[in-house]
Chains A and B, each alone.
Chain A
Amino acid sequence: MRYSKKELLDYINVVSFAVDDVKLYLDTHPTDEAAIEYFNNYQKARNQALKEYAAAFGPLTIDTAVIRSEFTWATQHWPWEWEG
């Protein structure tokens, strides 16, 4: 794993924000080719990073969760907590 837990979460926040923002732009400019290419690139990066994070540190989304002996989706820390 190239990234620490914090580095990978920061990366996910960055690429996810790019998706959030261009998604709103595409809602009102649905045929903008440059924006569609931007969306496709960041969506791919986000999906890949979410899978890497889930495998290494635990799930951020239920679809990427890798559950073995414990339901880490619930037992790991929650995002509003200061600790963790």
Chain B
Amino acid sequence: MWNYEKRLQYPVKIKNPDPKMAQVIISQFGGPDGELAASMRYLSQRYAMPYHEVCGVLTDIGTEELAHMEIVSAIVHQLTRNLSVEEIKKSGFDKYYVDHTLGLWPQSAGGEAFTSKFFQSKGDPITDLTEDLAAEQKARTTYDNILRLIDDPDIIDPIRFLRQRELVHFQRFGEALRTVQDHLDAKNFYAFNPAFDKAWQPSREGEHNSGNCGCKQNHMK
């Protein structure tokens, strides 16, 4: 379960509304490499993950992504507060406004709705963690792209924080992938899927190594 904490992980205090920038930054709320997709990806992947330390990484990063989603949402909210109809028309925010007024709705910068098609939960630890490594880099690139478009220090500051976290998460997922590989057959990491092939469970490692596991794959050599 989760408990809410009534503060942002990193403070957001934007003096000047800018609906044009809000339309770009909203992609990190509900876009293909956004924080909502990141959180749902990691939290969904936990259930097929056979190793406790890696479940810890997925849980704690998946939870932090929810906090990042809230930071991005706060940025978009503050960039669109108190807008006049004139400002809405002039900035091109009218296409969003007509469907959502000044409410937050998860979409990409191009207006595409949030969907679980943005991420995968494959049920294979190596595959899932390799996706997670790519996801952190894609989010980092998106923040780099956003940083090239903005010059307001009130926006740059929290965006830089979020970008930096992508690098830390990438590092931790790399260590998690290494942990998974340490549990596997070093001669062939792909000999079996430890989340599916029941003969291979962490608690039965000894039996497996002795060749009595009943695995169909010929990975014992």
Give A contacts to B, CB under 8 Å. Answer: 9-10, 12-13, 16-17, 20-21, 23-25, 27-30, 59-63, 73, 76, 78-80, 82
Contact = CB atoms under 8 A, between A and B. Distances in A.
Interface in B62-89: 64, 70, 73-74, 77-78, 81
Interface in B21-80: 53, 56-57, 60-61, 64, 70, 73-74, 77-78
5 contacts: A9-B7, A10-B11, A24-B57, A73-B6, A79-B74
Contact residue range for chain B?
Answer: 20 to 34
Interface of B: 3-14, 53, 56-57, 60-61, 64, 70, 73-74, 77-78, 81, 168-169, 172, 175-176, 179
Contacts of A78: 6
A10 B9 CA distance: 10
Given A21-B168, A23-B60, A82 B78 contact: yes
A78 B64 CA distance: 19
A61 B56 contact: no
Which of B7, B56, B70, B168 has the largest count of A CB atoms less than 10 A from its CB? Answer: B7
A25 B64 CA distance: 14
B13 A27 contact: no
A78 B56 CA distance: 29
Contacts of A73: 6
Contacts of B60: 23-24, 27
Contact of B7 (A12, A20, A21): A12
A25 B70 contact: no
Given A59-B6, A79-B70, A80-B74, A28 B179 contact: yes
A82 B7 contact: no
Nearest to A27: B56
